[in-house]
Structures are given as structure tokens and as C-alpha cells.
Structure 1
Amino acid sequence: MNGNSDFPYEINEVEPEELAELQKTFNLAFTDGYVRVGPKGYFVRSGYRKEAAKIYNMSLRPDDIWVVTFPKSGTTWVQELVWMVANDFDYVKSSSIPLVDRFPFLEMSTIVNSDKAQAKMKELCGGNKKHMEIAEMLTKSVSLAEQLPSPRFIKTHLPLTLLPPSLLDTTKVVYVARDARDVAVSYFHHYKLMTFMGYYGDFKDYWASFVKGDVEDCPYFEHVKEFWEQRQHPNLLFLFYEDLLKDLPAGVRRVAQFLGKHPSEAQVTALSEYLTFDNFKKNKSVNFEVFKELGWSDKNMSFMRKGKAGDWRDYFDAEMAAQAQQWIDDNLRGTDLCFPEHDPK
């Protein structure tokens, strides 16, 4: 598909040979496959075709607040942080309304809008009317986001070039970046967790796919660098996951300043405690329990896993670590992008 006046980028099917190779480790039964988008070849589900122009031309509002990340970069954590600060620390409302309703995932419909996906959803719902209604709603995520009352809170994993061109000039955007190796480990477990992703390879296979760009929303570094290049824009707050782990109160203050809020130190302290990993993992409002209810995720696994930096060292052998460092160096060469050092312990 060539770009047109509604959407400027080409959308190309992943070659059959490459798809067949992927199917050795990725269970693609829940989708119609993958496509690559634009000159950077962003790897997304084929259902993106139906939503590309709608997302790109989406109407924006000055009071929108978006959280954008490459997947598994601390997205849910930062969504809750941003929502709480923007809503004056309303713990009652936060606990009573799931995060997925307060801060919806824009492109969810691209995952579940194909005929195969919808057939699989019906199978997993097993005739449960409530579950079917939830599943049906997820197929309309873009339309529902457009209809949200202001102020809207929107989460997306799409790169900047695939989002509305006036995004940064119109809305507030918080972007979070995380060490690519930790992202890959966390994303691997996410693929294992979500039954509709159905990954059945090992981590070494997964890492090879990640580096090659055959994992959703890759290439990773292009995603990060697009936002890094805009980090001085007054409507963009660029955060590193590792910095938040090291000093969460400082992160809360940065978000508050960005959003024009003036919390007391007591409020900052209380929110930081609320957002500690142990507390966050127990918080049913943010743990996507609905996916377990729908049969979409493994009931024996948790959406929140470890919430730490440097976990990749437990998964990379010496050869993989050296290869990963070379890959990182190659991708950062010529940029001033530098990820924070973190304590390997």
C-alpha cells in the first residue's frame, strides 16, 4: 500500500519467507500477520492498516496528556504517576476505575480488529456476554479515544512519525525510555504472559528477533531517537526509567512541574510510596486483571514482574552481552543519547 493524502507512509506486508521463519517461535494464529510501515520499517500488526489514517489524522486537544513509550519501558507505572498528578492525587477515583479506562491504549484495536483475532476472541470469551462486550469495545479503541471527555489521557506505543503531526505542538506528551536489554527481557515475558501473543521460543531466539526488528513496534532505537531529538520541545517530557527507579520523588516533581502542578512534599512522598513496586504490584486497578478474566493472559503469571534495572544480566551469556553492547554502540553512534548507568545489584 502506497502513502496517500490521508496517510503519507507505505505499509508493506512482511515477506512470506520471513513470516514463516517467525512462525517457528511466534504463534501468529491470533492475527493476520505483520506489516512494516514507513522508511524505518516499523513492525506492527496487520490490523494497523485499518487504523493508520484515523490515528495519523486524529483530532487533538490542548488539554490532552499522552504517555508514549516503546513497550515494557515502565509505561503502566508512568501512566499512573501522570494520572495521579494531573488529577490532584485522587486515590479514591484511581482505585475505583481501572487504569485501562482512565488511560486507554490508543491502538488496541490494531491488535484485535482482524477476522482471525475476532474469531479467537469469541472462542476465548466462551459465550460470556460481559466478556464479549469488553472484547467488542477493544476493537473500537481509536474511535472511543476520539470520543473521550476532556481532559483525555491516552497511552500509545506508536513512534512519533506515525502519530498526528501536530502532537507535540498541541498536547502534553510524556515519553519514557529504558535500557534496550531490560526492555527485551520484559517484553519476552510479556509475550509469554499474553496467550494471544503465544510466543513459544526461548529468550535467545527472542533477542535475535528484537535486534532484527521483528518484534512489535521495533526498531527500538529509531522509536527512542525520534522522541529524543524533540526532547527540548516545551510540550515533551523525556524520562528515563532508570532515573525514576533511582529517585522516584524527583520524577514525581518533574512530572508535576511539566503539568503545571504544585504538590506539597507530603503529597510527593505519599505518591512515591504508593508507586513503589511492591505496592503497585498489589494494585488491582493497574494490573490488567481484565485480561485474565477474558482468558487472554496466563492466570499463573503477573503483568507486573520485577520492576528493576539490570535484570538482563540474568538472561545474557557473555557472547550475547558483547553482541548487545556492539548493537547499542552502533545505534547510539553520532547521537548524544546516553542511558543512565544503574547498579547491577
Structure 2
Amino acid sequence: MSPIPKYIEDVTAEKEGSNGDKKAFPYKITKVDAEVNKELLKYFTGERTGFVQVGPKKWFFPSGYERDAANYYNFRVRPDDTFVVTFPRSGTTWMQEMVWLLANDLNYEKAAKTQLEDRFPFLEFSSFVHMETKEEFLRENAYDEEKYQEVQLIDYPAWKILGEIPGRRFIKTHLPFSLLPQNLLQVGCKVIYIARNPRDVAVSFYHLNRSFRTQGYIGDFPRYWNYFEKNLQPWTPYWEHIKEGWSRRNEANLLFLFYEDINKVVNLIDSIKTVSNFLGRKYSDSEYETLAEHLDIHNFRRNKSVNFDNLKRLGILVSSEEGFVRKGKNGGWKDYFDEQLNARADRWIEENLKGTDLKFPSLS
């Protein structure tokens, strides 16, 4: 998650934020059951009002989503846009860095000087910053005018920012296709969708929810898995999200990838070439090798432009928790699932894959 880029500080116009022929948001938004909501607010301390579910699939979001649901759905897509669409913690940041560099002549110098969230805005981030939580951040940073102003901007809607960006735009979102502009894959822009196996996703998402005070999760992992499996986490249902991406995998402007494939050392350069070709860019073998080295997880963890060090400086990202970029490996979930929880996960996965042709490269 990311704050609003500094350069947009004075932008107030909304003319490009949504389509001129803005459509009504087609899905009913309802509040989560009162008792469930009460429990969730106890364990997710960053949200203060409560949670909502959207449409027949019951997409789950904090209360702030309702304010901008129609703006996301009606966002004006341009033919030269590039989107990275994922369920959270599916290799999103890693792919953003790869895509931006491939599309920008491998400009490592500019990438190092410019935070990834400025180069690649997060469409719906503002929906996750509750007003009361923001007020806490403001009080904590009141002694420093620069930090105070940065906090003031963290919930400025990215759909407004993106409307003011000239030229090619790079956009990150975790929204499922059904909640995004319905012409997304028809206007000519490039969309990369990444799927990752649910156990590793849940472990990584658990740590993110503990790290970001906008979420502020204070429970343990078994409790977190319970919420994840029951679709009581933002952007769930996980399986519906993946299935929507999978169902569109053969469309011309969509590149569907499995995280388990692209982050293998033996396949990394081939994966980079696949993305490069999809974006219409071509480089030498040595340049691809240099990019692969740049994206190596050990180097990536040390990359200050992708690790949200600015949020640590503002106290929004908890420095005592694991960093935003974690281990990046497949199978790390095994350290979190005991035999009973693993058996439960097996049943859940089997049930949700039944009747589909969706096959992950590895679920073990």
C-alpha cells in the first residue's frame, strides 16, 4: 500500500477521474453482520467504522470503499495504460518494478530516485485509510511539518491523481475484474494478472496486515486464516478473484501468470522476456540478465524505492514487523500451518478447484 505522490499535492481537478458518461455502480453494498463486524474491529484496529460486502460475490472491503466504488468502476482507462492486477501478496511489487523498468528503457537511475508508489500508483489505496486512523498519524507527526503534510496526502484518491498524469500511466490494483472498468481489456491497454497459491498468499497477507497500521491486525495466524478462508479479508473471496482472472486469460491484452513460475531462478529470465514481449519491448540478453539480478529477492529487499521506507518514517508501517518485501519464496507457508490447519486448507482448496480447469504449478 502506498501514500499519495508528493508531486500531486496541488491537484484538485477530477475531470479525468472517471468516464464522462459515468455509470451507476451496479452492485449492492451491504454492511457485514453486526456481530462479525464487532469481532473484526477488535482484531483489525486500523479500521474504525466497519466492513462492507459488495454484490452477489460479497467482495469484502473496509467502509471507505463505498465512497469511491463508482469511481473505480468508472475509471477512465487509456489505450497506453499498463495495469498490474493481483490478489494481494501475489508478487505485485516485484512485477511492478519489472514492468516499469521494461517499459522505461531500463532506467535504473530514475527508478532508484523515485518511489515505486509514485511511478505506479495504487488505485484504491485511499479506501483503506480511515479518517480516525489518519488523525492519529497526523498527531504523531505534528512536530515535523514535512511529515505532517505527507500524512495529509495519504488518502488523496489515486483515481484523481491518475487523471492528471500526462502520458503513459502504470497502475496497480487488487480489485477483481468485476469491480474494475468493464472496458479494461477492450481499449488497448496492457493488463498483467498474477495468481499465487493461497497458503503463501495468506501467510504474506497476514504479515502485511500486522505491518500496516491502516489494517492493524493484532491476532495470530490461525485466527487470520479463519478470516481469510471465510472471505472476511479485503479483496476476498480469493477464489472468485483468481477465477475471474483465469476466465479472461486468453484475451489479447491480458497476460496471466503464476507467481510460482515466474519467481523460479531457472525461469526468471524467460519470465522477464515474456513480460517484455507482452509490453512490446526488446532488450539484449545481457540486459535481461542485469534486470534479473536487480529483481533477485536478496537485492530487492534492499531496494529502498520499493520497500515503503517512507511509510516507516511516518510510523504507518510498523518497523518491528517483517519488511514489506518479505521472503519471496514458494512454500514458506509450511512454517505456519500445523497438521490440522493444513488438512483444513487442503479441503478448502479441493472444494474450490472442483469443476474448474485451474491448476497451480504447485500447491505443496
TM-score (norm 2): 0.90
Residue 147 of structure 2 corresponds to 131
Q: CA contact under 8 A between 1:109 and 1:142: conserved in structure 2?
A: no
| Number of the residue aligned with 2:349 | 328
C-alpha separation in 1, matches of 2:28 and 2:327 = 38
Q: How far does residue 196 in structure 1 lie from its aligned partner after superposition?
A: 2.8
Aligned twin of 1:15: 33
* Contact in 1 for aligned 2:41/2:48 (Cα 8 Å): no
Work out the CA distance in 1 between the residues paired with 2:59 and 2:320: 32
Matches within 5 A, 1:136-151: 136-140=152-156, 141-151=158-168
Helix, strand or coil for the counterpart of 1:23?
helix
Aligned to 2:203: 185
- Name which of 127, 131, 154 aligns with 2:171: 154
**In structure 2, how many angstroms separate the alpha carbons of the residues matched to 1:229 and 1:60?**
21
Aligned to 2:213, the other structure's residue is in SS state coil
The equivalent residue for 2:181 is 164
* 1:240-251 correspondence runs (5 A): 240-246=258-264, 247-251=267-271
In structure 2, distance between residues paired with 1:135 and 1:63: 31
Question: For the residues of structure 2 that align with 1:145 and 1:47, how far apart are their CA atoms?
Answer: 19
Give the alignment's Cα RMSD to 1 decimal.
1.5
- In structure 1, stretches of 5+ residues that fail to align are none
The answer on 1:197 being equivalent to 2:215 is yes
AA matched with 1:108: F
Deviates more, 1:320-329 or 1:190-199: 190-199
- The one of 89, 108, 126 aligned to 1:72: 89
| C-alpha contact (below 8 Å) 1:55/1:163 kept by paired residues | yes
| Cα distance in 1 for residues equivalent to 2:230 and 2:154 | 30
- How has the CA–CA distance of structure 1 residues 74 and 234 changed in structure 2, closer, same or farther, with 3 Å as cutoff? same
1:101-132, CA deviations, whole angstroms, 9 ceiling, x for partnerless residues? Answer: 000111111112x4323323322323432223
Instruction: Name 2:315's counterpart in structure 1.
Output: 295
Is the CA contact (8 Å cut-off) linking 1:68 and 1:173 kept in structure 2? yes
Aligned mates of 2:151, 2:182 — CA distance in 1: 30
1:86 corresponds to which residue?
103
Could you tell me how far 1:329 is from its partner in structure 2? 1.1
Shift of 1:31: 3.6
Could you tell which deviates more after superposition, 129-138 or 31-40?
129-138
Shift of 1:5: 4.4
Alpha-carbon distance in 2 for matches of 1:25, 1:154: 30
Question: Secondary structure, in 3 states, of the residue corresponding to 2:25?
Answer: coil
Return the letter of the residue paired with 1:254: T
> CA-to-partner distance for each residue in 1:19-61, whole Å, 9 max, x for gaps?
1122343224x44221111110011111111111111111110
- The 4+ residue runs of structure 1 with deviation greater than 3 A are none
Maintained 8 Å contact 2:128/2:214 = no
Distance 1:126 1:328 in 2: 47
Q: How many residues align?
A: 338
Contact kept, 8 Å, 1:31 with 1:111, in 2: the verdict is: no
1:190, 1:60 → 2: CA distance? 29
String of CA shifts for 1:298-324, please: whole Å, max 9, x gaps.
Answer: 123311111100011111111111111
Secondary structure of the equivalent of 1:167?
coil
- What secondary structure sits across from 2:255 in the alignment? strand
Native 8 Å contact 1:51 1:142 kept in 2: no
Shift of 1:75: 0.6
Alpha-carbon distance in structure 1 between the residues aligned to 2:193 and 2:220: 30
Q: Deviations over 1:240-271 (max 9, x none)?
A: 11101221111101101101111111111110
1:284 is displaced (CA, Å) by 0.3
Out of 283, 292, 298, the position equivalent to 1:263 is: 283
2:81 is equivalent to residue 60 of structure 1: no
User: Which SS does the other structure have where 2:307 is aligned?
Assistant: coil
1:106–1:142 CA contact under 8 A, matched in 2: yes
Tell me the alpha carbon deviations over residues 78-111 of structure 1, each in whole angstroms, 9 at most, x when there is no partner. Answer: 0000101111111111111110100011111111
Secondary structure in 2 aligned to 1:39?
A: coil
Please, which runs of 5 or more residues in structure 2 have no aligned partner? 1-21
TM-superposed deviation, 1:230: 0.1
More displaced 10-residue stretch of structure 1: 126-135 or 230-239: 126-135
Secondary structure of the residue aligned to 1:254 is helix
SS at match of 1:257: helix
Give the residue type in structure 2 aligned to 1:181: R
Q: Structure 1 pair 191/57, CA: closer, same or farther in 2 (3 Å)?
A: same
Q: Could you say which residue in structure 2 is the equivalent of 1:104?
A: 121
Per the normalisation by structure 1, the TM-score is: 0.94
- Amino acid corresponding to residue 168 of structure 1 in structure 2: L
Distance 2:25 2:213 in 1: 32
Query: Deviations 1:55-82 (Å, cap 9, x if unpaired)?
Result: 1111110000000111111110000001
